[in-house]
Amino acid sequence: MGIKMKIAVAGTGYVGLVAGVCFAEKGHNVTCVDVDEKKVRLMESGTSPIYEEGLEELMRKNNATGRLHYTTDYKSAYKDAEAIFIGVGTPEQPDGSANLNYIATVSRQIAESVERDCLVVVKSTVPVGTNDKVEQFIRDFLKRDVKVEVASNPEFLAQGSAVHDTLHAARIIIGTESKEAEAVLKKIYEPFGLPIVSVGRRSAEMIKYACNDFLALKISYMNDIANLCELVGADIDAVAEGMSYDARIGARFLNAGVGYGGSCFPKDTKALKYIARQHGYKLRTVEAAVDVNAEQKTKLFHKASNRMITFQGLKVAVLGLAFKAGTDDLREAPSLDNVALLLESGADIYAYDPVAADNFKKRYPEGKNGNGTIQYVTSPEGALHDADICFIFTEWGEIKSVAPETFKSQMQIPLVYDGRNLYDVKAMKDAGVEYYSIGR
């Protein structure tokens, strides 16, 4: 398994927890640090605080081997660690910039706790140049005569497949400013057996933004083309299929829909836009992607508004709440924008999501919300029963498996607005469903 190392991981969200668990799986001794005592107890019991396929199984396995630990005591975790990975959040601020307060807090805690030479590795997505500042910040607050270097190691995991993406990554990006730091990171990742791309710190920081923003741009481009397809009578699915055979374009991220969401694309596109403007440059392609996505999210709601006189008192089925299948994450989910508009319009919503309903309840408790109401059901059929209109926002298998005939038989008015293009247009029409999708 290669050389075993003592690693601490700051933060147990998608980035930190998945990294820590996967490091332990590859034989390293890992301590995950979080400020929330309740969360630590939960993880010690083998329960993951986030929904991610395969994560709990690896947590329990590595908890049992003694390679994986959790604590709120950052001093004991950091003091003799050979490497400390920072995986805390960098949330978006109102102006689009990244909030680095959590990074700064952890950096100071590391500076005041380390008792041996170590490498601090920033996995969080941060503006270009942040690693330089982190290194200086740590050196400013060091309490002992030890050597601390900082490296960049951005993650490229996708929510819903984060464990697989970490263990079977296309490549590992490491950004260092010394051969010693590069050697430490290569030792850590040696057991993974994956290609390593070694660059400077600032290039590593930029690679993360450049990759995410390119994929976001690709999604917005396909949504833009889909909107034009509707106007000229083309089918976006057929167009995407034709494009997918071109190796220069690739087959992924060609699905049209109601826009991208989640913790990365919305935040990272706005952050890079902000970084560019700070340097007097306008990233016109990225700004266009942001604008297209903002409009795309509520496209179906406005289309339905033109079809209906009012949503007041109508039973509205909402199928899918998470921003995508495989996760319970609601960050920037299209469902949020649309549910807010539906409630404001007086709709009575019956919502279904196999995983994200509990998170959604925290934002919209059952019962009266503004001018409308919301109830949560345990099956798609429960949402569809006697519904006057249906919106689909997430491509869960449980939703895909609903037969076209079910919409016709269950709904008061078989009227469906599909934001994920899950159904064949002809099959829905043949079943007697009035069906609207994106770009078809």
Q: Residues 41, 229: contact at Cβ < 8 Å?
A: no
293 contacts 260 by C-beta, under 8 angstroms: yes
Q: 264 an active-site residue?
A: yes
DSSP 238-273: HHHHHHHT-TTT-STT---SS---SSSHHHHHHHHH
Dihedral pair phi/psi, residue 362, rounded to 5°: -65, -30
- Tokens representing 274? 């902000």
Distance of CA 59 to the CA centre of its chain: 20
Element (H, E) at 112: helix 101-113
Q: How far is it, in rounded angstroms, from Cα 373 to Cα 310? A: 15
196 forms beta bridges with 172
Amino acid of residue 221: Y
Gap between the Cα atoms of 132 and 211, Å rounded: 21
Which residue from 205, 26, 55, 1 is spatially nearest to 121, judged by alpha carbons? 205
Contact predicate 293/216, CB 8 Å: yes
Catalytic position from the list 32, 118, 264, 390:
264
Residues serving a catalytic function are: 264
